[in-house]
Homo-oligomer: A and B are copies of this chain.
Amino acid sequence: MLSFENDYTEGAHEKILQRLLGTNLEKLPGYGNDPYCESAKAKIREACECPQADISFLVGGTQTNAVVIDALLKSYEGVVAAETGHVNVHEAGAIEFTGHKVLEIPQTGGKISADTLDKYLQDFWADANHEHMVFPGMVYISHPTEYGTLYSRRELKDISAVCANFGIPLYLDGARLGYGLMSNATDVTLPMISEYCDVFYIGGTKVGALCGEAVVFTKRNMPPHFLTVIKQHGALLAKGRLLGIQFDTLFTDGLYFTISKHAIDMAEIMKDGLRRKNCSFAWESPTNQQFIILQNSVMEELQKDVAFGFWEKAGDEHTIVRLATSWATREADISSLIELL
């Protein structure tokens, strides 16, 4: 059985596990106060070219979104997001659980535009009744988006400018950030993200870690007593080393980027193969998630040998299906997939 179901079907990159083994019996302080966390932070700061960055490690994506958004918003504020944004759809209401509304705005291919955002914010402040509404207190984007798409440098810069103009932070969900940075079709780098975003996270879970996301506050804007806020959310690990060691490994010798590049290479090979088989793509994705339109009968046949993700129906006779590569994808599996089609 082949699997292209998602990018978290395997455990962790071998180097991470070896490192956990190698350091296992060292007696280390808890709660992230160990030298591996420190070292990982230093390496991330360097990769971001952002020496003043404050970095914290959290366990998973929904947790990270909830903690960061709740920590940055005032009680009467909500977070602006694409109606398709992960925080708005697939996080079981984790944001609302913390008391904050997700303020939906329209999107295209999972992306919001600076213009749409600007209009939304202008309209809010112009509304005579805005004191009876939820204040837009920050902006959430994902990069890559849930649709595998990417913001261009220009788009990111423009959105950032709108946020700055309204004095609210821009937060980038980088659950799959590595795959975005290593795309062949991007002009966005990690230092640019550090420049344009007030806070973002570098996804580990989907990019080779057992678990873990690195939150980066780029503007000396980490909320006070953030460790206590993390604990209050039930998100503080006693053995913080588990996250520190993983990110230290991922950011040693560019491992994070190397393995992300591998996923992109695999995705490109997959795309070529799919095109050769005359597959229709639901939309163009330059990252590790590919979305193709299959006739239902073909899909059912394929399911017997391949695990993949259902995305949505496309009319009565077709379905959009997601095929994901990852740091762990083997080229042989892609060949087998193409052959099967």
Contact = CB atoms under 8 A, between A and B. Distances in A.
Given A24-B17, A27-B3, A134 B76 contact: no
A166 to B, nearest CB: 15
A255 interface: no
Nearest to A67: B234
A70 B328 CA distance: 38
Contacts of A206: 238
A103 to B, nearest CB: 9
Contacts of A75: 70-71, 97, 229, 232
A229 B30 contact: no
Number of copies: 4
Contacts of A128: 310
Nearest to A28: B9
Number of contact residues on A: which range applies?
A: 35 or more
Contacts of A210: 20, 239, 242
A93 B77 CA distance: 8
Interface stretch (A40-48, A57-65, A190-198): A57-65
A53 B23 CA distance: 36
Interface string A137-154: 000000000000000000
Contacts of A238: 8, 60-61, 205-206, 211
Interface stretch (A84-92, A276-284, A288-296): A84-92
A158 interface: no
A65 B233 CA distance: 11
A26 interface: yes
B17 A228 contact: no
A27 B10 contact: yes
A69 to B, nearest CB: 11
Given A70-B75, A97-B99, A210-B20, A231 B10 contact: no
Given A75-B232, A232-B93, A234-B62, A239 B8 contact: yes
Given A21-B17, A99-B99, A104-B104, A234 B27 contact: no
Q: Which 3 A-B pairs have the closest CB atoms?
A: A63-B234, A11-B24, A92-B231
